[in-house]
Amino acid sequence: MKQIVFLAFLLFISCGQNNKKSEASVNSASTQDINNEDEARISSALKFINTYVTSSADRDEWVKSSDMVTESFKVEYQRIIDEAKAKDPELGLGFDPILNAQDYPDQGFELESLGDEDNYIFLKGKDVEQFKVIVKVVKKDDKWLVDGSGIINIPESLTKK
């Protein structure tokens, strides 16, 4: 299965898709640029975001119990949710902080590009290419974990649309 996913990444990347440059020094990932570490980072980011959007669990509980995210992610997520509920108990934040949006693409996400530094991974909707999400991963105990997504632990300069 991992080989199929990797081959799909290679096929997608080799199709010469246009990459949007940002302040995170986006690097167009060619087939020769992707190594085993990149594959692991990409796989972690995609597994996280695609599992998140397809989960039927309560979003807050899903984040709290997830083994795909860092403690820093969980703390920041909860801080954002609590702060929004304190300001507006009825509406709360009004959008999903992990996606930085109210909705998401029905078919999930795929790789758009890799950041040159800071382990940013730029994803786009499979069926809505204009829908973008930035995911940051960090390596903890030989495992890649999500440490940022949407507006959580992502610099504001990258989250502005």
Domain ranges of the chain: 2-16+23-159
Listing DSSP states for 59-106 in one string gives HHHHHHH-SSB-HHHHHHHHHHHHHHHHH-TTTTTSSBTTTTBS---T
What is the reported pLDDT for 159?
Answer: 74
CATH number of the domain located at residue range(s) 2-16+23-159 in this protein? 3.10.450.50
Q: What is the pLDDT of residues 102-145, one digit of tens each?
A: 888 889 999 999 887 779 999 999 999 899 999 999 999 999 99
pLDDT digits (tens, 9 = 90+) for 39-98: 999 999 999 999 999 998 999 999 999 999 999 999 999 999 999 999 999 999 999 999
Strand, helix or coil at 39? helix
Other beta carbons within 10 angstroms of residue 22's beta carbon come to: 16
d(CA 161, CA 154): 13
pLDDT in tens, 3-39: 444 444 444 444 433 333 333 334 444 444 678 888 9
The pLDDT value recorded for residue 115 is: 82
